[in-house]
Amino acid sequence: MHSRSLFADANGNLALGAPVTPAYLKIDYLSLTRDGTGVLTAQPASPMPSCAATNMLNCLTNPYGASCIRLVRVRVCDPNGKDECTAVPYKMLFPLVDLSLLKLPRSETVVPAQSLGYTGSAPCP
């Protein structure tokens, strides 16, 4: 799944973006909850739906429920950072000057989940 999220070369690496590989992508599935004042907050979906069809049903039943995935967040993180999203060490393409102490800028995107791949076929297996 992560390899599809990265514009990778034949080796699975980000083209001209060493050391970034699919292992550097952290994908989070987020729900939106509404508090008593109407403020929306994104948080990790819990419990996770078993498949895209279940997610569609969860969202139709309660669009602000904790198990309705509404957003997908993708971040580029150091895979050695455990649960935290730590910056990735910079690796120069042409090592003329030592910049090994630099880190890649933090990068993330959040997009609507839409159908999560649901095609309208049979429900979850």
Is pLDDT at 111 greater than 60 in this prediction? Answer: yes
Q: Which of 17, 39, 26 is nearest to 81 (CA)?
A: 26
- Specify if 6 maps to a domain: no
Q: Which of 60, 74, 70, 81 is nearest to 112 (CA)?
A: 70
Is pLDDT at 15 greater than 80 in this prediction? Answer: no
Domain range spanning residue 42?
25-112
When divided into structural domains, the chain yields a total of 1
Is pLDDT at 95 greater than 70 in this prediction? Answer: no
Q: What is the mean pLDDT of residues 42-51?
A: 91
Specify the pLDDT at position 14. 62
- Specify if 120 maps to a domain: no
- Specify if 73 maps to a domain: yes
Q: Which of 69, 32, 33 is nearest to 52 (CA)?
A: 69
Query: How far apart, in whole angstroms, are the C-alpha atoms of residue 19 and residue 76?
Result: 11
Confidence of residue 96 (pLDDT cuts 50, 70, 90): confident
Cα angle: 21, vertex 26, 32; to 5 degrees: 155
Is pLDDT at 79 greater than 70 in this prediction? Answer: yes
Is pLDDT at 16 greater than 70 in this prediction? Answer: no
- Specify if 10 maps to a domain: no
Q: Which of 32, 112, 29, 114 is nearest to 65 (CA)?
A: 32
* Residue predicted with more confidence, 114 or 94: 114
- Specify if 15 maps to a domain: no
What is the average pLDDT value for the chain, to the nearest integer?
80
